[in-house]
Structure 1
Amino acid sequence: MRLLALDLILSLLDVRGHIPRFDDFRPAPATPAPAGLVLALAAAIVVLVGLSLAIWGTVWLAIHLL
């Protein structure tokens, strides 16, 4: 009953058309695309390498300034 009342209120406010229903969505593929997975892995590696180089550079600079 509560869902019917909510649906009635939303339809009276003309908001119901902007809220997607469950049958509006197309099913997503079960497994991610291999190219997307490789790209995400490459991005993660680049970020980790960049962070490790930044830490190494900071430590190296601190050692040489002391």
Structure 2
Amino acid sequence: MKLLIAFTAAALLTAPAIAVNCRDAKGKFVKCPSASTSVVKDAKGKCHFASGPKKGQFTKCP
């Protein structure tokens, strides 16, 4: 029981740190990209999707 309470308290303390607001280049709030897609930078410095349905397509660098 004590272990469950400790995990619940830890989850509540770290929850605000997980919630990140995404902004565009102008500082406006935008919808955050999903966690299932990852963006990587190639050797030329351009960013593209590494996985997901848009794999290989170029995108703006975060």
**Structure with more strand by fraction:** 2
Whether these two folds match at TM > 0.5 is: no
Range of TM-score over shorter length: 0.3 to 0.5
Q: What TM-score do the two structures reach when normalised by structure 1? A: 0.32
RCO higher in structure (CA 8 A, sep ≥6): 2
**Structure with more helix by fraction:** 1
Q: What TM-score do the two structures reach when normalised by structure 2? A: 0.33
Larger radius of gyration: 1
